[in-house]
Amino acid sequence: MLLAANYITATVTDEYGTPIPGANVFYETTKNGTITNNAGQFSLPAERGNLVVSFVGLQTKTFATAGSVPSTIVMSDSVELLDDVVVTPLKKNAGKIIAVVGTLALITGVIAYNQPKTANVTL
């Protein structure tokens, strides 16, 4: 943690050292916060309480701001099983993206998409 003029500055990376842009960084009590930039860096005014760093798919980290925030915060994978996943198929039609209307079927935990059948009719 670099504490310059009462600011907390650090870099958020994954286990391989790759910066994580867009990670949420906020204080648990006040909810004041920011997101990391493209280089995984953030800077926040120092406050009392816990600093929380989170990102989708990674384990959330919490630090007491009394000097325990490292200059590099390493986030690790969060492996959790999902009960359901909903996939909405999209179709591009004349430059517009529209939802495709059809039937969804649940087959042994996997969602399958069945497109409606149409007949080619000429008059």
Secondary-structure class of domain 2-74 per CATH: mainly beta
Average pLDDT over residues 22-29: 92
pLDDT of residue 33: 92
3 pLDDT higher than 50: no
Q: Please give the full DSSP string across the chain, using - where no structure is assigned.
A: -EESSSEEEEEEE-TTS-B-TT-EEEETTT--EEE--TTSEEEEE--SSEEEEEETTEEEEEEETTT---SEEEP-B-----S------EEEETTEEEEPP-EEEEETTEEEEEPPP------
Residue ranges covered by each domain of the chain? 2-74
Give residue-wise pLDDT tens across range 64-73.
876 667 889 9
Give residue-wise pLDDT tens across range 67-98.
667 889 999 988 766 666 677 666 565 566 55
Side-chain-side CA neighbours of residue 43 (13 Å):
7
Give residue-wise pLDDT tens across range 26-62.
998 888 999 999 999 999 998 888 899 999 889 999 9
